[in-house]
Amino acid sequence: MSISPIRRQSVSPAAEPAVALSGFTRRFGQATILKDLDLEIAAGEFVALLGRSGSGKTTLLRTLAGLDPADGQAVRTPDVRAVVFQEPRLLPWKPVWKNVTLGLTAPSPRAKAEAALREVGLGHRLDAWPATLSGGEAQRAALARALVREPQLLLLDEPFAALDALTRLKMHELVLALWRAHQPAVLLVTHDVDEAIALSDRVLVLKDGRIGAEERIEAERPRRVEGALQAVRARLLGHLGAAPADLASPQRIAVA
């Protein structure tokens, strides 16, 4: 796999954000999941979203993806969006390239699929069947399916959770390389605090239906969660309700 690095341009604070929600509320029956939530994501910004299970992370992502209606509320997103879920969601009766171009109406779909698959290191698996792919390869194919649409907003819903540790690290490198090359705004939903710190420009914590905390990560990538970033990690774990003993632990922690 070879992706030419592109120097990312700094985003002007005055630039119109790629994502903007104001006072957003989402209820399911009597339960209020999101309440008066405000959120902005700048064009080209990489944001990670943490929160305990049931806090509304996926609900928010589905709203931004257009999968759930916004009910006339103040929600602004780019026209072109793409989502990568925890499961690759490939159709087993279609070869990989046709999965990548599923629903795509652009001309020369096979050529576009080949270019996207080459970017994620799967140019040699164009005609393979999904059942023959490893877990990491299947997620690469899912990334290619998102990439081929040239999204202005890329939404990642725990896409690495089911992968082994080594494959997960390789996927981190791939996602960062693709982000640098294509420069979409990215929202990564994750339970993994270290993953959020390693990848993003900004980490948000969803709590009580709102953004309860925010940490900006200025360190150069690639990052290891050590030194000053250990303090960031401890603060994020504290916002997530981790026990005091967890705050000092050097082990990777995923908050349920």
List pLDDT tens digits, range 62-111. 999 999 888 788 999 999 999 999 999 999 999 999 999 998 888 889 99
What is the pLDDT, as a whole number, of residue 241?
A: 85
- Which token pair is 28? 């399911």
- Mean pLDDT, residues 226-243: 89
Q: Does residue 190 surpass a pLDDT of 90?
A: yes
Does residue 86 form part of some domain? no
DSSP 8-state symbol, 220? P
Mutual angle of helices 135-147 and 109-119, in 10-degree steps: 130
Does residue 136 form part of some domain? no
| CA dist., res. 141 & res. 138, Å (int) | 5
- Which token pair is 234? 């401890």
Contact 148, 104 (CB under 8 A): yes
Per-residue pLDDT band at 2 (split at 50, 70, 90): very low
Residue ranges making up the domain that contains 51: 19-80+151-247
Query: Where do the DSSP E strands lie in the chain?
Result: 19-28, 31-41, 46-50, 74-76, 81-84, 153-157, 185-189, 202-207, 210-216
Does residue 90 form part of some domain? no
Total domain count, the chain = 1
Q: Does residue 55 surpass a pLDDT of 50?
A: yes
| Mean pLDDT (the chain, rounded) | 88
DSSP 8-state symbol, 214? E
Does residue 169 form part of some domain? yes
Per-residue pLDDT band at 12 (split at 50, 70, 90): very low
At 22-41, the pLDDT tens digits run 999 998 888 899 999 999 99
Does residue 166 form part of some domain? yes
Q: Does residue 134 surpass a pLDDT of 70?
A: yes
Does residue 8 form part of some domain? no
Does residue 221 form part of some domain? yes
Q: Which residue has the higher pLDDT, 53 or 8?
A: 53
Per-residue pLDDT band at 124 (split at 50, 70, 90): very high
Residue type, 174: L
Q: What is the CATH number of the domain that holds 168?
A: 3.40.50.300
